[in-house]
Structure 1
Amino acid sequence: MNIVLFLAPFSVGLGLMALGAFWWTLRAGQYDDPVGDASRILLDDDDDRPL
């Protein structure tokens, strides 16, 4: 029974950390241009090739 008293707050804390990380990525603009990112991978730029 003691392990439940340890794991329940631990799992809630871990969930809050994940929610905070998701909120941080939203505020940092990680999801602002998904269409541009999807089309940018199809471009054939010479600048991206190794020397």
Structure 2
Amino acid sequence: MDILLLLIPLALSLGLLGLAGFLWALRSGQFDDLDGAAQRILFDDDDPPPPPGRNDQTRESSQ
């Protein structure tokens, strides 16, 4: 029963330490953009294909 005198304050202090860590992360911007990286991977960074007429001209000039 005497161990409860040690474990209860220890559990409360660990809980407060976790809460302080979470509040610090929240204020420092760790949780600002959760979906940005997940959606950014879906966009293609390649250049769009040229219009159809430009392909014919480049083939003729190379021959």
Bin of the TM-score, shorter chain as denominator length: 0.7 to 0.9
In the alignment, residue 4 of structure 1 is paired with which amino acid? L
CA distance in structure 1 between the aligned counterparts of 2:7 and 2:21, rounded to whole angstroms = 21
- Which digits, 9 at most, give the CA deviation of each residue in 1:14-47, with x for residues without a partner? 000000000010011011111212123x2678xx
1:3 aligns with 2:3: yes
CA distance in structure 2 between the aligned counterparts of 1:18 and 1:29, rounded to whole angstroms = 17
TM-score where L is the length of structure 2: 0.61
Q: Which has the higher helix share?
A: 1
Unaligned runs of 5+ residues in structure 2 are 46-63
- Aligned residues: percent identity? 52
TM-score where L is the length of structure 1: 0.73
Number of residue-to-residue matches in the alignment: 44
